[in-house]
Amino acid sequence: MLSKSHLSRRQMLHTASCGFGYLAMSGIAGAASASLEARPPRLRAGAQRVIFLHMAGGPAQLDTFEYKPQVGKKPHAGSVAEFKQRGQSGLWVSELLPNLARHADKLCVLNGMTADTSIHAQSSLQLHTGDRLRPCPSMGAWVAYGLGTENMNLPGFISFNTAKPTQYSAAQLPPVYGGTPIGVNGEDMSRATISDIYSDHLPLSVKRRQLDLIQAMNRDHLGPRADDAQLEGVIQTLELGFRMQASAPELLDISQESKATLERYGVGRNFAAGTCKNSDFGRQCLLARRFCEAGVRFIEITHGSWDQHTDHRRDLTANCATTDAPIAALLDDLDERGLLEDTLVVWGGEFGRPGLTPGQDKDQTGHQHRAFTFWLAGGGVKGGHAHGKTSENGSTVVEGAVHFRDLHATILHLLGLDHENLAVVSGGRRIRLTGLEGGKVVKDILA
């Protein structure tokens, strides 16, 4: 029986011994008032779920999705890659992304992105939570809080390949809405599990009886403590953890996927060009599709090698080669399965990079937070559309600026959530994804 004063949550989870680990449960335990049950959006929604393709480190926008010819009498910073206009829309896409170029008419490119800082940690925190200095709920946690999950056997928010809990934290929200991490920091995803969520030391039927006994004692203990939200949250967590044992292992097992599918996603392919570590990014994209189909509300996958200060051309080529085919395969599958229409795909990093100047020996870039690029696809945005303009060398936004707060407001709007009213009060202050300053929905990109 649980003792509120003598048995910690960690001990309780271990005592339950139902084949799942503390680490996974720490991301999905919740309070009594918290529920992952699906909730209808309050506004008209174009999207039902989000896949966030996090390009950590700062992709070079002038060499991927924003074409800036190097012009003028003096050396002029601009794109070092060749560009072509693609699809019926004529959207400019780099030659380094030939597979993604096939999807030009699906992409909504935001060329006027801005952030508050060029410091990696702070800008990444702002991208994920809306605040660059203080821990706040992650974007995925807000979405799960607002909409719940479409599958009660799985969390509402999955985060692949990250070692930074602040990027998937629920913070001031009930912890049930936080992300469940799978895979860490660019390592091989082939052995990725939800932290010991499954083990075969006992048959599932025996585990069910074991859990039923523990839960009966827990509810007896809860009886006179009906206002103990944390204890009720632990009871909910144990049930979700048990249900996950049946669903999660099958979703993580891609052995039944066809050889052609694995090849399209580049699973296991060795991307050794340049210094960029092989993160098995294709496996992440394939797993994202599978979890999307299974009803997870928000899925983040990460490619973390874009912080390239030296050997820019070499490492840029390697990064594009690693991510191009898997992302294109993901868009192909979502489209063919009828999922892209109500799945919002978001691509981008914490800032961008200034262009290189021709004729100079230095092959290196820095950080640029005042003008960079994101793109969106599906989920109610205009395809084949470029929003925002920058100066001749791409250093400043001259039209259609979109701050992270505006991006967040737009993502929530596409999901049918009002960013101004999706909030909690903690420590006497009102917390929301778009912060005290608020954001503006970018209506020009809505389909």
d(CA 131, CA 136): 7
Contact 158, 182 (CB under 8 A): yes
Contact 136, 130 (CB under 8 A): yes
Contact 315, 273 (CB under 8 A): no
Question: So what's the pLDDT on residue 30?
Answer: 37
Residue 206, Cβ density class (10 Å: 0-12 exposed, 13-18 middle, ≥19 buried): exposed
Q: DSSP assignment of 201-248, as one string?
A: SS-HHHHHHHHHHHHHHHHHHHGGGTT-HHHHHHHHHHHHHHHHHHHH
Residues of the chain with pLDDT under 70: 1-34, 71-74, 184-201, 227-234, 236-237, 240-241, 270-279, 358-361
d(CA 168, CA 177): 9
Among candidates 219, 223, 213, 221, which has minimal Cα distance to 236?
219
Helix, strand, or coil here: 250? helix
Q: Vertex 50, ends 440 and 246: CA angle to 5°? A: 150
Instruction: Tell me how far CA of residue 42 lies from CA of 13, 117, 197, in angstroms.
Output: 36, 33, 34
Beta-ladder partners of 51: 299, 345
Question: So what's the pLDDT on residue 297?
Answer: 97
pTM given for the model:
0.86
Question: So what's the pLDDT on residue 32?
Answer: 33
DSSP letter assigned to residue 84 = E
Beta-ladder partners of 397: 390
DSSP letter assigned to residue 381 = B
Question: So what's the pLDDT on residue 189?
Answer: 57
Question: So what's the pLDDT on residue 21?
Answer: 34
Place of tokens 């930074």: 164
**What's the topology of domain 9-445?**
Alkaline Phosphatase, subunit A (3.40.720)
Question: So what's the pLDDT on residue 405?
Answer: 98
Question: So what's the pLDDT on residue 191?
Answer: 54
Q: How do 83-86 and 91-94 pair as beta strands?
A: antiparallel
pLDDT one-digit tens code per residue, 32-91: 356 788 999 988 899 999 999 999 999 999 999 999 988 666 677 888 899 999 999 999
